[in-house]
Amino acid sequence: MWDWKSLQHFQSRFMKQIKLLAIFAILILPSSISYKQPFHYYSYKEMEEFLNEMEEEYPEIMKFYSIGKTYGGREIYVVKISDNVSIDENEAEVLFMGAHHGNEKLGYQFLLYFIKSMCENYSKNESVAYLINNAEIFVVPMVNPDGVENNTRKNVEPNNCIGENIFPILKGVNLNRNYDAGWNEWRPWYFLSTTSTPYGDLILYFLDFPPEYRGEKPFSERETKAIKNFVESRNITIAIDFHTGAGKIIFYPFGYTDKKKPKDLEKFISIAENISSINGYDYAEAGEGVIGMAIDWLYEKHGIYALIIELTRNVAPRDAEEVREIIQLNLPVMHYIINRAIEEKGRI
């Protein structure tokens, strides 16, 4: 059993190791790693410029607007792609989200490429035209724009944690732990990884230890409130939340418990299997122990078939060729998801 003294000792040693690793990275990594073709991820400002350009060029099928504002004063934008884009039609609705975790940059970059691909091919490709004519496609490229700009997993709103002005890791809330799904499922430990330590084969954290801090209450954060209000104003059928860092894998609910399964488990497996047949990724239940996830809330509270797609192991790949391959591999997945939503809408 862990007593409080042992825990304090472990956390003290862990923080020392983190500092040493940071110093090592600063001194060694820039001179020892080189990338043949470094990929450029858009900044928040570049995303705004891109969206403005796309709306100016394709006003009949694409528009974007703000659904909220962050602590840092940045707008949280949603993009709508559909024929008759200014009208809410009785069509299937899909939602794609990226950058719940601001350092996971490939998710939003992929979604920006998807937006461009759909708009450019509307008049050239019958399959793309069919999807846009029969669905309302919503994209939130950056759920966490403050995190993107600061390259942090969490948002940057102060959480009154002692030392947060000294150690950035202490600041902010993990937005994908702030949704009202299993949020109160308190556990004394959170299993972060299987990295070996002097204390065993697991790194142990309190559930609310800063890297995974869930916030003071569900939807305490401006960003998750914005998503909540938007979702509750729509009638979404399928939602995909893009992440990186956990490998190439598809997750479906639930993440906060393994004691119950989705009542639509067969449908989730069907969707995951079809995605897997396109991109070759593995698929699995999100697994017990991850509270407050968007996909769990979307399904449990609203009946939306919501899944996570982890695009790659690297949080933000720098090799341009690798990024290109991941994007090309997953664009057909987007077409499948929209078409599946249209089919589901037709069954109602």
Any domain includes 296:
yes
Q: Is there a contact between 105 and 92 (Cβ–Cβ < 8 Å)?
A: no
What positions carry a catalytic annotation?
310
- Determine the Cα–Cα distance for residues 196 and 86; give it in Å rounded to an integer: 54
DSSP structure string for 36-50: SSBPPPPPHHHHHHH
Any domain includes 304:
yes
pLDDT confidence of residue 332: 98
Any domain includes 212:
no
- Determine the Cα–Cα distance for residues 182 and 178; give it in Å rounded to an integer: 10
Any domain includes 14:
no
Any domain includes 12:
no
pLDDT confidence of residue 59: 98
Query: How many domains, the chain?
Result: 1
- Determine the Cα–Cα distance for residues 147 and 154; give it in Å rounded to an integer: 6
pLDDT confidence of residue 290: 84
- Determine the Cα–Cα distance for residues 125 and 332; give it in Å rounded to an integer: 13
Domain encompassing residue 314: 52-151+219-347
- Tokens of residue 168, six digits: 């950035």
CATH of the domain at 67: 3.40.630.10
pLDDT confidence of residue 15: 40
Angle of CA points 144, 86, 107, to nearest 5°? 25
Q: CB-based contacts of 6: which residues, under 8 Å, 6+ apart?
A: none
The edge-to-edge listing of strands for the beta sheet with 135-140 is 62-69, 75-81, 135-140, 92-98, 238-243, 305-310, 249-252, 282-285
Any domain includes 182:
no
- Tokens of residue 258, six digits: 């393994």
Any domain includes 161:
no
Any domain includes 91:
yes
Q: Is there a contact between 292 and 182 (Cβ–Cβ < 8 Å)?
A: yes
pLDDT confidence of residue 168: 61
Helix (H) or strand (E) holding 204: strand 203-205
pLDDT in tens, the chain (348 residues): 444 344 344 344 434 443 433 333 333 333 333 335 689 999 999 999 999 999 999 999 999 999 999 999 999 999 999 999 999 999 999 999 999 999 999 999 999 999 999 999 999 999 999 999 999 999 999 999 999 999 999 999 887 665 556 566 677 899 999 999 988 775 544 444 334 333 333 444 444 455 678 888 999 999 999 999 999 999 999 999 999 998 999 999 998 888 889 999 999 999 999 999 999 999 999 876 788 999 999 999 999 999 999 999 999 999 999 999 999 999 999 999 999 999 998 775
